[in-house]
Amino acid sequence: MILSPELITFLSMVSVFIVSAMVAKLPVSLSLMAASVVGGLVGVASFPVRHLVEGTFGYLDTILVIATAMIYMKSIQRSGLLSTIANQIIKGFRRQPLALLIVLTFFAMFPGMITGSSTVAVLTAGAIVAPVMMNLGIPRNKTGAIIALAGILGMIAPPVNIPAMIIGGGVDMPYIGFSLPLILTTFPLAILFSLGLGYRHLGKVNLEEMDLPQSHYSDFGLTLYAPFIILIALLIIEQAFTRVVPSLGMPLIFLISAATALVFGKEVKILETTKKAIDEALPIMGILAGVGMFIQIMTLTGVRGFVVSTLTGLPPSFLYLSIGISMPLFGAVSAYGSASILGVPFMLSLLGTDQILAASALSLVAGLGDLMPPTALAGLFAAQVVDQENYFKIVKFCVLPGLLTVGYGIFLILSPW
Q: Domain limits of the chain?
A: 50-302+374-407
Q: Crossing angle, helix 5-18 and helix 270-301, to 10 degrees?
A: 150
Tell me what pLDDT residue 417 has: 62
Residue 386 Cα distances to 85, 148, 193, 416, angstroms: 21, 11, 18, 41
Count of H helices and E strands in the chain?
23, 0
CA 256 to chain CA centroid, Å, is 23
Q: For the chain, which residues score pLDDT lower than 70?
A: 1-2, 242-245, 312, 333, 374-375, 416-417
Rounded distance between C-alpha atoms, residue 202 and residue 195, angstroms: 10
DSSP 121-158: HIIIIIHHHHHHHHHTT--HHHHHHHHHHHHHHHHHSS
Distant-in-sequence, close-in-space partners of 81: CB < 8 Å, separation ≥ 6: 216, 224, 225, 227, 228, 261, 265
Tell me what pLDDT residue 238 has: 79
Residue 76 Cα distances to 125, 226, 231, 248, 405, angstroms: 12, 10, 11, 21, 31
Tell me what pLDDT residue 71 has: 94
Tell me what pLDDT residue 377 has: 80
Tell me what pLDDT residue 375 has: 67
Tell me what pLDDT residue 242 has: 67
Tell me what pLDDT residue 259 has: 94
Q: DSSP state, 343?
A: I
DSSP 347-377: HHTTTTS-HHHHHHHHHHHHHGGGGSTTT-H
Tell me what pLDDT residue 291 has: 82
Task: Please give the helix or strand (H or E) that residue 276 lies within, else none.
Answer: helix 270-301
Tell me what pLDDT residue 326 has: 86
> What per-residue string of b and e applies to 143-159 under the rule 16 or more CB within 10 Å gives b?
bbbbbbbbbbbbbbbbb
pTM: 0.83
Tell me what pLDDT residue 260 has: 94
Task: Please give the helix or strand (H or E) that residue 182 lies within, else none.
Answer: helix 179-198
